[in-house]
């Protein structure tokens, strides 16, 4: 059994005899696997040949550069559709362009632009922390009222194991509230400083 090296292009096995060869396209229509340029029957294209067998992938021949930008792809798509008489609306062109951009990002040909969203993230974290603090304070009030009611009934003493566990729960709850206060102050400071 051969070992597949997934660091190679498309998971190709490095032990296989793989080459790219030029040939005329036999199918009616095909897209370049890299840039989605459309080729028609009889045009010169590049195929990958593995161990003497032609794969289905079609590539641009050496004389033609791959489409590099969304605008180049749209111009190519528009000219092909005009030649074939295929009507496309503006939204169809926009959707095709979006798909082309996604494809080029997946193939690693386009860089992904990261957008700074730190302000909204900090604001969201702040609202979550405030909500958690509010819930913990409600729980603490309920625990205090239950504890006071049980102390007043005289069947619940301070030395009892159950009351000690109850006090430990209240202390843990207060520790959580204190840590949330620190987080809230830090997030508010970050939001103010921007």
- Element containing residue 118 per DSSP (H, E): helix 118-152
- Identify the pLDDT of residue 78: 92
Quick one: CA torsion of 127, 133, 135, 141, rounded to 10 degrees? Answer: -150
Instruction: In whole angstroms, give the CA distance from residue 131 to residue 176.
Output: 13
CA atoms of 68 and 34, how far apart (whole Å): 10
| 133 against 157, higher pLDDT | 133
What share of residues in the chain are helix, strand, coil (percent, to 5)?
55, 15, 30
Q: What is the pTM of this model?
A: 0.49
Check residue 27 and give its pLDDT: 86
Look at residue 1 and tell me whether its pLDDT is greater than 50.
Answer: no
Q: How many beta carbons lie within 10 A of that of residue 126, not counting itself?
A: 17
**pLDDT score recorded for residue 104:** 84
pLDDT of residue 127: 82
User: Backbone dihedral region of 43: left (phi > 0), alpha (psi from -120 to 50 degrees) or beta?
Assistant: beta
């Amino acid at each position: 059994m051969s070992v597949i090296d997934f660091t190679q292009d498309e998971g190709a096995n490095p032990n296989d005899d793989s080459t790219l060869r030029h040939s005329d396209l036999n199918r009616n229509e095909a897209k370049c696997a890299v840039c989605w340029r459309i080729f028609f029957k009889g045009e010169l294209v590049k195929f990958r040949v593995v161990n003497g067998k032609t794969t289905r992938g079609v590539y641009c021949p050496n004389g033609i550069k791959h489409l590099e930008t969304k605008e180049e792809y749209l111009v190519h798509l528009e000219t092909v559709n005009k030649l074939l008489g295929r009507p496309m609306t503006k939204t169809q062109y926009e959707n095709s362009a979006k798909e082309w951009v996604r494809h080029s990002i997946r193939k690693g040909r386009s860089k992904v632009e990261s957008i700074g969203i730190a302000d909204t993230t900090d604001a969201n974290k702040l609202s979550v922390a405030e909500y958690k603090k509010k819930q913990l304070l409600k729980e603490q009030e309920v625990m205090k009222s239950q504890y006071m009611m049980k102390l007043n009934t005289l069947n619940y003493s301070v030395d009892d194991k159950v009351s000690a566990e109850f006090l430990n729960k209240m202390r843990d709850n207060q520790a959580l509230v204190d840590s949330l206060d620190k987080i809230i102050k830090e997030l508010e400071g970050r939001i103010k400083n921007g």
